[in-house]
Amino acid sequence: MTKTLPSSSSLTEKDPGVQVVDIVVEAHEYIQELEKELKTLNHSVKISGFRPGKVPRDLLLKRFGKAIVRDLTLQKAFEKLQQHIQTEIGPFIFNPVLVYDSSVNADAFQPLDYQFTFEVAPLPHFEVALPPLGAIVWDVETVDDEKVDKEINRLRHTFGKVKLLDQAELEEDIISGSVKPLTPEESSPSVNKHISFRVRDIQKGALSQVLPVLKQGNTISFQPTEWFVISEENFSQIFKEIDRTLLERPNIKWELTISQIIRHFPAPLSEEFFREVTQTNDVKTEEEFKTFIRRRLERRNFIQARRKAHLALKDWLMAHNMGRFTLPVKFIKRKISSMSNGPLSEEEMEARIKKQQEIIAWEVILENLKNDLKLIITPDDVEKVIDELAVIEAFKYSGFWVKKDIIDKFKENIRAENSIKGFADFMVLEAKVMDRLLETVVQGYVPYFEE
C-alpha cells in the first residue's frame, strides 16, 4: 500500500536559487531493518507478563513501532538526500532545511511509503574580486639581539626560584595586595580590588619615601598619581579593575594593604635550564640557546603578522564581494526559526539574519576561492591549523611557547571545542585559502618554514 504523497510545490515559498528536493522512502527500503529492530527489541525489552524474546510482535509494534519507523525512514531520507546533493547539486551553503515530513504520522502496521521535502541552497558561483598587490600590508616585527636578550631574561625569571620577602628592596621585587578608597562614594569601588606592581613602577621622585613602608602586612594611605605614572601601560597592568578617572582625582585617598612581596631569582644559563625551556637535549651552549629563542620569536612574529594580514584580507574581500552574489533570505529565516528555542521578535530575527548573512557570505567567498585555486584539504592541513592555534593560545597564556605539555593541553582543548567536523573543516578552509592568497596579493609575504 502506498500513501498519496502531496505535491511539494505548495509546501513552501522558496527563494530564487533554492532547490526543493522531494525524497520518497519506499516501504521495501526500511521493512527488513524494521524486522531486525523488532527482533533485537524483543530480546532486550522488559514487559510485564512476557519472557525476553516472547513478546508478541503486535505489542512491540503498538508500543515502539511508530518511533522505529520514523527513525529508520528519516535516516534513509537523509542518506538519499546526501546522494542527491553529491550527484545533482554539488557544494551548498548552510545545512538543508526539512520543510515536510510525512513520517510524523508513521503507521508501523502497514508497509507505507513516506515523503520528506528538503530545501537546499546551492553554493552561488561568481568571480571573486581580489585586492591589488600592496593593498594588504605585510609587516613582521624584526627580532634583534636586544629582543632575544630580553626574552631570555624573562625566561630566566620565569624558570628561576621565587622567595617571599618581608621588605621590598630591589626594582624587580613584586608587591601584591588590595586597594580601596578611604572615603568611598557612590561611583567608587565598594570592595577591595587586587593590585600588583614592581618597585620599578614607582616614580623615581617618590621612591625614597615609598620604599621604607613597602613591608608585608602593612596598610598604607596613598595617592596613585603621587606614586605612579598613570600611563596606558601602567594603568592596564597595575589598576586592572579600577576606573582610571577615580585614580586621577586628588580628593580621593586610597588605602593599600600589602599581602605579599616576592623576588624572582633568575635561573642560571645552564644545560638544565636550556633543556627545561626547549624540551630537548639538543641545546648545549648559550649561543645555541640564543639561536633557538631567536627562531621561536621569529616564528611567533610571523604567525602574528599573518593573522593580522588574514583579518585585513577578510575585511577587503567582504567589502568588495558582498554585492556580487545573492543569499536566500527566506531560507535563512526558516533555518533560524528551526534552530531557535522559541519565537523571536522582529528585531531579534533581523539581527540574527544579518549575522547569518555575514557568516554565510564569508563561506560563499571562501568556497569559490577554494574552487578557483583548486585547493584540497587534507588531514595534515587540519593538524597544522590546530598546532598553530595551540601555539597562539600558549603564547597568550605564558608569553612564549616554552613547554610542550602546555601546547599539547591547548591542542586537546581546541579539538574538544571543534568536535563538530563542519566547523573544524571551515577553520582549515579559511586558513588554507587565506595563506594561498597571501602568496599572490600581499607584497613581501614569504611563507615561513621552520628548520
Closest CA to 61 of 37, 32, 27: 37
In contact, 167 and 275? CB cutoff 8 Å: no
Give the pLDDT confidence score for residue 244 in this predicted structure.
Answer: 77
> Quick one: DSSP state of residue 113?
-
Taking 90 as the threshold, does the pLDDT of residue 264 lie above it? no
**161-265: which CATH number, 3.30.70, 3.40.50, 3.10.50, 3.90.1200?**
3.10.50
Number of other residues whose CB lies within 10 A of the CB of residue 237: 13
Looking at residue 253, its pLDDT comes to: 83
Sequence-ordered list of residues with C-beta below 8 angstroms from that of 335, at least 6 positions apart, any chain:
94, 95, 97, 356
Cell readout for 375 is: 585547493
Mean pLDDT of the 424-450 span = 81
Digit-coded pLDDT (tens) for 361-380 = 998 999 999 888 888 877 77
The conformation of residue 199, written as its DSSP 8-state character, comes to: G
pLDDT at res. 82: 93
> Mean pLDDT throughout 414-424?
58
Same fold, 8-122 and 161-265: no
State residue 109 phi and psi, 5-degree precision: -85, -10
Helices (H), 322-420: 329-339, 346-373, 379-398, 404-417
8-122 folds as Alpha-Beta Plaits (3.30.70)
Burial of 394 (0-12, 13-18, 19+ CB in 10 A): buried
Residue-range domain boundaries for the chain: 8-122, 161-265, 283-441
pLDDT at 98 over 80: yes
The Cα–Cα gap between 368 and 311 comes to 18
DSSP-derived secondary structure for 44-80: H---TT--TT-S-HHHHIIIIIHHHHHHHHHHHHHHH
Whether pLDDT at 135 is above 50: yes
Confidence bin at 398 (pLDDT 50/70/90): low
pLDDT at 128: 93
Helix (H) or strand (E) holding 263: strand 254-265
d(CA 45, CA 40): 9
- Report residue 98 as a C-alpha cell: 526539512
The chain-wide mean pLDDT, for the chain, equals 84
Return the amino acid letter for 52: P
Which amino acid, residue 349? M
Whether 9 shows a pLDDT value over 60: the answer reads: no
Query: Of 126, 118, 86, which is closest to residue 18 (Cα–Cα)?
Result: 118
CA distance 131 to 136: 8
What's the rounded Cα separation, in Å, for the pair 5 and 138?
A: 60
Would you state the pLDDT for residue 2? 35
Asked if residue 191 has pLDDT above 60, the reply is: yes
